[in-house]
Structures are given as C-alpha cells and as structure tokens.
C-alpha cells in the first residue's frame, strides 16, 4: 500500500505523458520497473516516479500493459480501451479514440486535481499561518491570563489582608468602645460611691463638730475673751446701738431698702449706659441711612423711566420716611413705631442698594457679553448680504447701460461714415439721443429706487429686530408669570405641556419671520443630541430660549423622533436610510470574492452596526 501512496500522489502531479505510458503498460511488475530510464523532470521525486513508470511498459509487454490499463480504467468507470469485439475469436483491437478520450479525460482530471491541490495547498498555508498566529495569540493570551490571574491573586491577597486588618481594627474599636463604656460606668459608680461616702463622712464630721462646739463653747471658757484698753469710736462716728426685738424688724427693713437701692442704682446705671449705646448706634444708623438716600437719589429717575414701579414706589416711600424721620422730635423717641419705621426704611434702602449693585454687576457682565451677542451679528450679516445683493444688481445695471452706450456709439460711428444718409439720420440720431437720455434718467431713477429699497429694507430689518426683542420680552414676562402662577409640581408639568402647545402655535408665526433670514446653521448643530435637547427644553422652559431656536429644535426633535420610531424596527427597512444602507452593505459583502465565512461575518457586523445605531438613537 505504501507504494500506492507514493504512486497516487505524483500521479496527480505528473504530465499527460505519464498517463500515456500508463496506458501503454499492460502488466504490473514492480521489481522490474526500477531499471527504466528517466524521461523528463527535474524534480528528484518525479524522477523516481518516471523511472518507475518507464519500467512499466516495454516493447515486449505492450499488450499486457494495455490490458492492464484497460482493466484499471474500466474499474474506474472509463470506457474500455478496446473496440467492441464483433466476434469472440477475433483479437480485441485497441480503440485509439477511446484511448485519446480517456487520456483527455485524465488530463482534465489531472488539471482539476492540480488546481484543487493548489487551492488546498494555499489554504493549508493560510491555515498554517492562521494557526501560527492563533497559537501566538493563544500563547500571549495565556500569558496575559496568567499575569492577570497572578495579579488577581495578589489583589485578592491584599484584599484579604485589608479585610483582616479592617476586622482587627473593628474589633479594636469595639474593644475600645467597650472599654470606654466600662470606664464610664466605673467612673459613674465611683462618683456615686464617692458622693455617698462624702455625705456620710460629712454627716459624721458635722456631728463631731457639733459635739466639739458644745464641749468647747458651753464650758464657759474663761480664756475666750477680749481685753481692750478702751473701746474706740465707730469709724462713721455713730454710736453702736443695741439690737432689741423691736428694732430688729425695722433694721432689717432698712437694710433691705438699702440693698434694693443699691441694686436699683446699678440697674439704672446700666440702663443709662445701654441707652447711650443705643443712641450712638441710632445715630450711626441714621447717618448711614442718609448717606444711602443721597447715594441712591441720583439713580431715582432711571428706574422710574424704566416703568419698574416697585423700586420707584419704594424710593418715594423712602423719601417720605426720610422726611418724617429727619424731624428731630422723632429722632430721640425709642418707641416701637419709630423703630419699626427706621428699620423698615433701612431695610428697603438696603434692598434697593443691593438690587442696584446687582444691576450694575449685570450691566458690567452684559457689556462684556455685548461683543459676542449673536443676534446683533446676524442682523448685521443680513444687512451686509442684502447690500451686497443690491450692489451686484446696480453693477449689472451699470454694465447693461455701458453696453447699450457702446452699441449706440458704434451705430453713431457707422452713421457718421455715410455722409448722404447723415442728414437723414440726424433726426433719428437726435431721437435716439433723447431716448437715451430718457433711458438714462430711467436708469437713474431705478438706481435711486434701488437705494431707497435698500434703505427701507435695512430699516425694516432693524424694526424687525426691535419687534422681535419686544416680543421676546413679552414672552419672557408671560413665561415668568406662568411659572410663578404654578403652585405644585404636578401642576407645573401640566403647565409645561400647555406651554409646549402654545409654543407650537406661536412658532408658526415666528417661523415665517425667521425663514426670511438665512439661518440654517443651528439645526445641524442641534441635531446631534436632539433627545437631550428636548428634555432640556422641557426643563428650562422658564429660562425661555429664543423662540426661533425653540421652534427649530422642536422640528428637529420631531424629525428624530420619527427616525427613532422607524429605527426601533430595523427588520422593515423600507423608509429607513440606515437600514437600507445596511442591506446594501450586506449585498456587497456577499458579492465580494471571498470565503463564505467572511461573508457571514460581514453580515453579522452589519447587523451589529444597525443594532448599535438603534441603541444610540433613543
């Protein structure tokens, strides 16, 4: 069998000649085949094979080899090499046609096999390299896995240690807490014990003291005495008076009186001090107030002009208050009404001052922002565009006039050549001239008109801008009112809904005005995150973005929402551009010359893509 293996393989790779030899051979005699000559091949393996084949058929065994080949071929399903025998006695003739057919078939087969082999080899190579690659990958991944496993183990170990530590610390903490509790208990018990003991001891001590007192004092101790040469007078010069039962009460009363007098004096003194302090503070307050009024009065006109009633009235109030309080009689009163007035007016003024300062701050910030105010820029752009357009038109008109002039001149020049017709033509010329003049004036008028139009247009644009601003303000105030009117949160939601609808109503009106201006940049910018945008809008309704923006974003959002709805069912790819694209891709993938596997992967990737998109959008 081993020989067969060696035979079959080169058999496929060998040329048609071999087959020819094959067919010419009749007998199979492996031992004798070795001595044959090499026919043609540079490959050592095929050399052997050729030598082997060359030994197959010789002059002598043609018949045998033919019969052998015939047998072989018939067994493989080829038609017989011999002609159909007409008689049994006759020797079967070799059918050349059949031989050639067989050979051809064999050759075709051979070629096919060769191709297949090539394919297989390349595939093999590919697979080999793939294998290598995968093995490398595998090794790498294994390494990675190993390292990560090690890392994980390390981390786990650390985690365990930390947990251990934590547990220990917890235990320690608990122990400490217990200890603290214990110590506190001990302290408390000790304290009670100590107090108890102290009381007991003190009682004993008191008893002893009492006893001692009795013993010492009642003995009529002769020693307890005072020797004085003579009694001295009292420091205040009065004589000591004996206390009797009668005078005792009066003495006591007098003492009490004196005590209360002292206390009263003290309180009076303190009250006086406090009053003084109060007066001082009041003075400071009044002064502050005056200064505030003087500081705020120059700005009085401004807020009034702005028709901001609240501040105006407050100011006038403050003025009145100032007038009232400047009277000296009220000044010293510390009654409650005055105090209230004073504090109220101060508070009001403070509020005004605060708002004023805030306004100033706002103005400052506005001034900073003014340079980048987009509305202004846009209107200017419009202006510029408009003027450009108009100028272009003028230019065109001028050119037209010029060409006409040229034509006229040419005509004139040609007319001048002909002297005879000149006279006749002169009248025409005059007519022409007049007509030209008329045309000129007409053109001039047109030009004027154009300019007028231009001016009016700019005016209209300015007015439009103002109107828009006014409208926006109105809307903002309305919104604010609406917002303020809302009481509960649920309420607010419903209000929001209403607001939304209101906006959609008004947006049509607004969109007309907006459409007159070329402003298509915004929607593109917004379209990226439209769902977010809409949510934002509902949230920030009170903040009131400009209506045009709102309408645009809203339309954008509606667009996207429709897309969303469609995208949720990617299996129906009819109106969905994304879905169609996906299918297109799929087809192109399939038609590409590549393995089927690749095609499948491509298909799956497209599906995935569509899925991803679907996920992204909502």
Partner 1 sequence: MNFSEVFKLSSLLCKFSPDGKYLASCVQYRLVIRDVNTLQILQLYTCLDQIQHIEWSADSLFILCAMYKRGLVQVWSLEQPEWHCRIDEGSAGLVASCWSPDGRHILNTTEFHLRITVWSLCTKSVSYIKYPKACQQGIAFTRDGRYMALAERRDCKDHVSIFVCSDWQLLRHFDTETQDLAGIEWAPNGCVLAVWDTCLEYKVLLYSLDGRLLSAYCAYEWSLGVKAVAWSPSSQFLAVGSYDGKVRILNHVTWKMITEFGHPATVNNPKTVVYKEAEKNPQLALGRLAFPAPRAAASPASNTESKFSLQTLKPIADRANPKIGVGALAFSPDNYFLATRSDSVPNAVWIWDIQKLRLFVVLEQLSPVRSFQWDPQQPRLAICTGGSKVYLWSPAGCLSVQVPGEGDFQVLSLCWHFSGDSMALLSKDHFCLCFLETEERVGTAFGRPGDHT
Q: Which residues bind partner 1 (CB under 8 A)?
A: 187, 195, 198-199, 202-203, 209, 212-213, 216-217, 219, 221-236, 239-240, 243, 248, 251-252, 255-256, 258-260, 262-263, 266
DSSP 334: -
Q: Least distance in Å: CB of 249 to partner 1?
A: 11
CA atoms of 606 and 580, how far apart (whole Å): 11
- CB-based burial label for 156 (10 Å; 0-12, 13-18, 19+): exposed
Nearer Cβ to partner 1, position 199 or 398?
199
Nearer Cβ to partner 1, position 202 or 474?
202
DSSP 572: -
Q: Least distance in Å: CB of 221 to partner 1?
A: 4
CA atoms of 254 and 248, how far apart (whole Å): 10
Strand stretches in 411-525, DSSP E: none
Q: Least distance in Å: CB of 339 to partner 1?
A: 20
Enumerate residues 6+ apart whose C-beta is below 8 A from 610. Answer: 570, 578, 579, 582
The closest alpha carbon to 342, from 379, 287, 296, 268, belongs to: 287
Nearer Cβ to partner 1, position 249 or 413?
249
DSSP letters of 516-582? TS---HHHHHHHTTHHHHHHHHHHTTTT---HHHHHHHHHHHHHHHHHHHHHT-TT--SS-HHHHHH
Where are the alpha helices (H) located in 297-335, listed in sequence order?
301-305, 309-325, 328-332
Nearer Cβ to partner 1, position 40 or 229?
229
The closest alpha carbon to 526, from 502, 560, 496, belongs to: 560
Nearer Cβ to partner 1, position 28 or 276?
276
Q: Least distance in Å: CB of 170 to partner 1?
A: 26
Nearer Cβ to partner 1, position 168 or 181?
181
Nearer Cβ to partner 1, position 71 or 193?
193
Any idea what the Cα angle at residue 77 is, between residues 76 and 81, rounded to 5°?
Answer: 95
Nearer Cβ to partner 1, position 245 or 323?
245
Nearer Cβ to partner 1, position 228 or 512?
228
Q: Least distance in Å: CB of 332 to partner 1?
A: 23
Nearer Cβ to partner 1, position 91 or 220?
220
Nearer Cβ to partner 1, position 4 or 242?
242
- CB-based burial label for 236 (10 Å; 0-12, 13-18, 19+): exposed
CA atoms of 602 and 609, how far apart (whole Å): 10
Task: Please check whether residue 345 is in contact with residue 318, taking contact to mean a CB–CB distance below 8 angstroms.
Answer: yes
Task: Please check whether residue 550 is in contact with residue 538, taking contact to mean a CB–CB distance below 8 angstroms.
Answer: no
CA atoms of 589 and 601, how far apart (whole Å): 9
**Residue positions counted in the chain:** 618
Nearer Cβ to partner 1, position 140 or 203?
203
Task: Please check whether residue 28 is in contact with residue 68, taking contact to mean a CB–CB distance below 8 angstroms.
Answer: yes
Task: Please check whether residue 576 is in contact with residue 567, taking contact to mean a CB–CB distance below 8 angstroms.
Answer: yes
Enumerate residues 6+ apart whose C-beta is below 8 A from 586. Answer: 602, 603, 606
DSSP 181: H
CA atoms of 603 and 582, how far apart (whole Å): 9
Q: Least distance in Å: CB of 200 to partner 1?
A: 9
What's the distance, CA 551 to chain centroid?
A: 22
Task: Output phi, psi for 30, to 5 deg.
Answer: -60, -35
Q: Is 27 helix (H, G, I), strand (E, B) or coil?
A: coil
Nearer Cβ to partner 1, position 182 or 580?
182
Nearer Cβ to partner 1, position 158 or 199?
199
- The token pair at 617 is 């959008």
Task: Output phi, psi for 418, to 5 deg.
Answer: -85, 110
């Amino acid at each position: 069998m081993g020989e067969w293996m060696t035979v079959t393989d080169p058999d496929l790779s060998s040329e048609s000649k071999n087959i020819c030899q094959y067919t010419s051979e009749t007998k199979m005699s492996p031992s004798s085949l070795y001595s044959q000559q090499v026919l043609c091949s540079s490959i050592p393996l095929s050399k052997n094979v050729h030598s082997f084949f060359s030994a197959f058929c010789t002059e002598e065994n043609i018949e045998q080899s033919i019969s052998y080949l015939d047998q072989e071929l018939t067994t493989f399903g080829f038609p017989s090499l011999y002609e159909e025998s007409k008689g049994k006695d006759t020797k079967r003739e070799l059918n050349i046609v059949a031989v050639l057919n067989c050979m051809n078939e064999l050759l075709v087969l051979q070629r096919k096999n060769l191709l297949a082999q090539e394919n297989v080899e390349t595939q093999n190579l590919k697979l080999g390299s793939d294998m290598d690659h995968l093995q490398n990958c595998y090794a790498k991944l294994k390494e990675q896995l190993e390292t990560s496993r090690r890392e994980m183990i390390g981390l786990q170990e650390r985690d365990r240690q930390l947990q251990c530590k934590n547990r220990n610390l917890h235990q320690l903490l608990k122990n400490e807490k217990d200890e603290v509790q214990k110590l506190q208990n001990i302290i408390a018990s000790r304290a009670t014990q100590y107090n108890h003991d102290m009381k007991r001891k003190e009682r004993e001590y008191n008893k002893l003291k009492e006893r001692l007192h009795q013993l010492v004092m009642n003995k009529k101790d002769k020693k307890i005495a005072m020797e004085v040469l003579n009694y001295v007078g009292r420091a205040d010069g009065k004589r000591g008076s004996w206390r009797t039962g009668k005078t005792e009460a009066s003495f006591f009363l007098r003492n009490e009186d004196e005590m209360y007098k002292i206390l009263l004096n003290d309180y009076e003194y303190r009250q006086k001090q406090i009053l003084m302090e109060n007066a001082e503070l009041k003075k400071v307050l009044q002064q502050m107030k005056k200064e505030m009024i003087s500081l705020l009065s120059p700005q009085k006109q401004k807020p009034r002009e702005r028709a901001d009633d609240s501040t105006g009235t407050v100011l006038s109030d403050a003025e009145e208050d100032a007038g009232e309080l400047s009277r000296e009689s009220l000044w010293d009163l510390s009654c409650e009404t005055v105090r209230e007035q004073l504090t109220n007016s101060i508070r009001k003024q403070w509020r005004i001052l605060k708002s004023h300062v805030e306004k100033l701050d706002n103005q400052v910030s506005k001034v900073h922002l003014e340079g980048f105010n987009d509305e202004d820029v846009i209107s200017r752009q419009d202006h510029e565009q408009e003027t450009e357009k108009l100028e272009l038109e003028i230019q065109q008109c001028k050119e037209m006039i010029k060409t006409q002039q040229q034509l006229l001149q040419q005509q004139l020049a040609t007319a001048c050549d002909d002297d005879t017709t000149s006279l006749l033509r002169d009248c025409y010329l005059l007519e022409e001239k007049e007509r030209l003049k008329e045309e000129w004036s007409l053109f001039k008028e047109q030009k004027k008109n154009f300019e007028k139009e231009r001016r009016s247009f700019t005016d209209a644009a300015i007015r439009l801008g103002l109107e828009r601003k006014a409208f926006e303000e109105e809307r903002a105030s309305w919104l604010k009112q609406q917002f303020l009117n809302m009481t509960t949160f649920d309420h607010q939601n419903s209000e929001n809904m209403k607001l939304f609808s209101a906006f959609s109503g008004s947006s049509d009106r607004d969109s007309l005005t907006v459409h007159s201006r070329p402003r298509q940049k915004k929607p593109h910018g917004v379209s990226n995150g439209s769902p977010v945008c809409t949510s934002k809008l509902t949230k920030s309704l009170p903040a009131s973005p400009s209506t045009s923006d709102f309408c645009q974003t809203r339309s954008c959002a509606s667009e996207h929402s429709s897309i969303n709805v469609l995208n949720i069912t990617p299996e129906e790819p009819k109106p969905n551009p994304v879905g169609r694209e996906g299918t297109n891709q799929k087809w192109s993938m399939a038609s590409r010359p590549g393995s089927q596997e690749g095609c499948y992967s491509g298909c799956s990737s497209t599906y995935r893509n569509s899925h991803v998109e679907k996920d992204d959008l909502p």
